[in-house]
Each structure stands twice: as structure tokens, then as C-alpha cells.
A and B are shown apart, each in its own frame.
Chain A
Amino acid sequence: GDSVTQMEGPVTLSEEAFLTINCTYTATGYPSLFWYVQYPGEGLQLLLKATKADDKGSNKGFEATYRKETTSFHLEKGSVQVSDSAVYFCALSEWETSGSRLTFGEGTQLTVNP
């Protein structure tokens, strides 16, 4: 079945540091890929998504590129801020096998210190 593996956290960075959170997936077909962010005590917010190979999703300075050859969708940001502190979830959906259901990674806690 489908699965998503994220780099283990927690990740602690200083403000303005470069961020990478690794995400790899296994799927039988051609999934859509997502990054969601969860701030403390809140639900999930869609951060970015990509629907086919080589697509790049971007939002609020975050980027991720759908790499089919390496089955990866790593999240990057060039300069993090304290306000980026949150939990980040990588996820996929594959209509052909599971309809609109999402398969989530375990989440990566990011803490950015001033």
C-alpha cells in the first residue's frame, strides 16, 4: 500500500537558517503530493502541493519538487523565521487506489529560535 516517510524530528534551527525536511513515498501509481503545516493547538493548513512529476509547489517561501525518479518531495525554505515553528506533514493521495484519502507521514516538529 501507499506510505509516506518523513525525516525524524524534532528539528531546531536558528532564525534565517536553511530548512530541509525530507519526505519520500511509495505508491503504486501517480499520486498527488502535499505538505501540510500544523501550528500549536490548530488543525492542518495546506502549505503546498504538486500533482505530477517535476511540478514544484511553492508558498510563503517554502518549496517542494515532485521527484518521481527518487520518489521524493522534500520541503525547503531558504531562510526560516520564528513564526515557521510548527509541525509539518507530508502526505499523498492516489485516486486510483484509495480515492480521496490522504496518507500522512509521521510529522516533523520544527522549532526556530531567534
Chain B
Amino acid sequence: GAVVSQHPSRVICKSGTSVKIECRSLDFQATTMFWYRQFPKQSLMLMATSNEGSKATYEQGVEKDKFLINHASLTLSTLTVTSAHPEDSSFYICSAYTGARGIGDTQYFGPGTRLTVL
């Protein structure tokens, strides 16, 4: 149980185009999903927190107009990188939170999406 998928797993695009990444919780409902960015040999950097039916909360320094997040249902969140540039090339990982308020509830992670902007 608690499987999270991401699509696509790898995408290459030209500078200036937009790219959409999907994150799905396959066997549970996720009230909250998170989007992370990871640079080589580094830890995960939280970009934004997405709650179903409401606007995403972005971390300081993350451009909300560039990284559009939509959490339309309890099993799907999307991240759209608008007008992508080479510096947006990175490994993007989503996670889905299984529980309501409580101790020990867990984030489950997707397999990641490798974005390369040429």
C-alpha cells in the first residue's frame, strides 16, 4: 500500500516551453501533497505544500508564477514549470501525506521526474 506515482519519469524540453508533472496517490487519498526539488548529491528542498481544493503554500524564494501547482483531487497534484530555462533542470519529487492530524503519519514519495531543459 501507499504507492505514489509520478509522470513523466524523464522529460527533455526546449527553453521557453512549459512542462507539466503529475503526482498521483494510487491506493490512498492524500489531503496534502508536497513538491521537492533535488540537486545532485544534495538533500531535498521543499518547494511547496499543496492541499486539496486550496491554493498551494510556497516556500520562501520559490516563484509561484513559475512553478504552478494544482491539487484538484485527493489523488492528483500537478506541478507545471512555466517558461522553463536550463537553470530549472533538476530532479523533482512529490510526496503524499497519508493522514489527518496525528502522530506518526507518514509522507510517501514518488519516484521522481528528471527535467532537462536545453
Which A residues fall within an 8 A CB radius of B? 30, 32, 34, 36, 41-46, 49, 51-52, 89, 93, 95, 100-102, 104-107, 109
Band of interface residues on B:
20 to 34
Query: A101 touching B43 by the CB < 8 A rule?
Result: no
Q: How far is the CB of A62 from chain B (nearest CB, A)?
A: 16
B6 within 8 A of A: yes
Q: How far is the CB of B108 from chain A (nearest CB, A)?
A: 7
Query: B43 touching A106 by the CB < 8 A rule?
Result: yes
Partner of A43, one of B42, B43, B99, B109: B109
Which B residues fall within an 8 A CB radius of A? 4, 6, 32, 34, 41-44, 46, 49, 93, 95, 97, 99, 101-112, 114
Query: A36 touching B109 by the CB < 8 A rule?
Result: yes
CB neighbours of B46 from chain A (8 A): 101-102
